[in-house]
Amino acid sequence: MSGADASRRERDHFDGVIEAEGGFDPFPPRGWETLRGCYEEMVGTTAVDLLLDIGCGTGSADPIYRDRFRKRVGIDLSPAALHQAQHRFPDDEHLRADACRLPCPDSSVDVVAFSSVLHHIPDFPDALREAHRVLRPGGAVFAFDPNLLHPAMALFRHPKSPLYTAAGVSPNEKPLLPSALRSAFTAAGFTDLRQHAQADIPYREVAPPVLNALLRVYNLLDHAMHLSGAGRWLGSFVVTAARRPLQA
């Protein structure tokens, strides 16, 4: 499948989600607050001039980045999602574009944030190379994606699992190994690489509906994993950050 075909399938899927459900916000506030803590730990708390939010969707990841930029540009494939995001955040700029072909000049962005989107991109190393291109020297890249080492992600969300279910999953979506992400970040030219898995990111709702009956138990176990320390390796999401070197 070509990159254009893969992008078209993702666009059509999320346009359909917006039309059918009115939006997409998988986590309650505590989940977003956990991810905000990861961003502050790995990127910093200082507001930057320009933050690029790739995979911005309807803007649900705003709690992570709020007050950490002077200008934000949201990038997404879905026109329906971008329309909602522009309505919610009229002071931001929103552009329909592919993460592997960003409409930005070289060395023009302070932070590139991949908002749970790399695992939707079959050729995600290409997206990391684009992030490297548009970042200013010293600029930061930040990403969070489902962790293939997490038991539920491996059992229910990876296409090769016998228990895999496509309900609630976009056509190209699959969890990623932390090692695959580290290799791709390094190959793209990033340094100062930091990564850990993160638990304590509860879900608001999952598909298919039958799994929602187990969601309370899942969220409790996820919190217990965080408290035990095992979440730093087996947490549901893997969080990765790095920087473009100051000099080539």
Residue 15 sits in a domain whose CATH number is 3.40.50.150
pLDDT tens digits, 183-221: 999 999 999 999 999 999 999 988 877 778 889 999 999
The pLDDT value recorded for residue 144 is 98
Residues 89 and 73 sit within 8 Å (Cβ to Cβ)? no
Half-sphere exposure of 181 (CA within 13 A, CB side): 31
Domain count, the chain: 1
Statement: residue 248 has pLDDT above 70 = no
Find all residues with CB under 8 Å of 58, minimum gap 6, and list them. 18, 23, 24, 25, 81, 84, 85, 88
What is the overall mean pLDDT for the chain? Answer: 95
Domain that holds residue 109: 3-243
Average pLDDT over residues 102-113: 98
pLDDT band at 1 (very low <50, low <70, confident <90, very high): low
In a domain, 248, yes or no: no
Question: From residue 138, how far is each of 9, 121, 242 by CA, in Å?
Answer: 34, 25, 9
Give the pLDDT of residue 24. 85
Look at residue 4 in the predicted model and tell me its pLDDT.
85
Q: Global pTM? A: 0.96
The number of C-alpha atoms within 13 Å of 234 and in the hemisphere containing its C-beta is 14
Helix (H, G, I), strand (E, B) or coil at 149: coil
| C-beta atoms surrounding 110 within 10 Å | 20
Query: What is the arithmetic mean of pLDDT over 70-87?
Result: 97
